[in-house]
Amino acid sequence: MARASRASRANLEDPRGRGGVLTRTPRAPQPSRDRFGRFTEWIARAMGTPAFLLILSLFCVAWISWNTLAPDAWRFDSQTYGFTVLTLVLSLQASYAAPLILLAQNRQDDRDRVQIEQDRQRAERNLADTEYLAREVVALRMALTHVSDQVVTRDVLRQELKALLEHLDEHAGDRPGERGAEASPARAAAEPA
């Protein structure tokens, strides 16, 4: 029985979960060394701003104005063909922008996956800690309940004194006048205030 008690106490004292979950310290995130990845994220962030749209709009207005209002010798994109070079430039920009944005999204998805895994591990550690603390509280309550059976409280002491006084009253029944005056301070101490 002592061996089973020791085994159950060992189980109560050890936190549940994977081995070493509570002792493992999370690593600090390392800065990315992927320059191209950081560049794609910068491009994706820049393309999603009102400033980018404003600059692109001003670029198109300037392009069209130059090729419409400038002298014929200075024009490089014909209005008669619908500004073909401008269309090609915007298509080239869009063809590079889409994959760059997708690369930036993939990197963000990878970071999100890592963050979700870290959150899951943190929640698992918190659950193991909480279960361990709950078992410790139960063990302390059980120990206090076991100890409180042996500890004399004020109420138990009063009950014992009352029983002792009743016992003395029974044995000293032939001399009630002598004992009544002497027992009054003890009886007063035994009765609740």
For 91-121, how does the pLDDT look when each residue is reduced to its tens digit (9 = 90+)? 999 999 999 889 889 999 999 999 999 999 9
Q: How far is it, in rounded angstroms, from Cα 125 to Cα 116?
A: 14
Three-state SS at 7: helix
Query: Which tokens go with 173?
Result: 């029944």
pLDDT of residue 158: 83
- Of 95, 88, 93, residue with least CA distance to 55: 93
Q: How far is it, in rounded angstroms, from Cα 190 to Cα 57?
A: 96
pLDDT of residue 126: 95
Q: How far is it, in rounded angstroms, from Cα 92 to Cα 116?
A: 37
- What is 124-168 written as a DSSP string? HHHHHHHHHHHHHHHHHHHHHHHHHTTSPPHHHHHHHHHHHHHHH
Mean pLDDT taken over the chain: 78
Measure CA of the first residue to CA of the last residue in the chain; give whole Å.
Answer: 46
Is-above-0.75 flag for pTM?
A: no
* 110-169 per-position pLDDT tens digit: 999 999 999 999 999 999 999 999 998 888 888 777 766 666 667 877 888 888 888 888
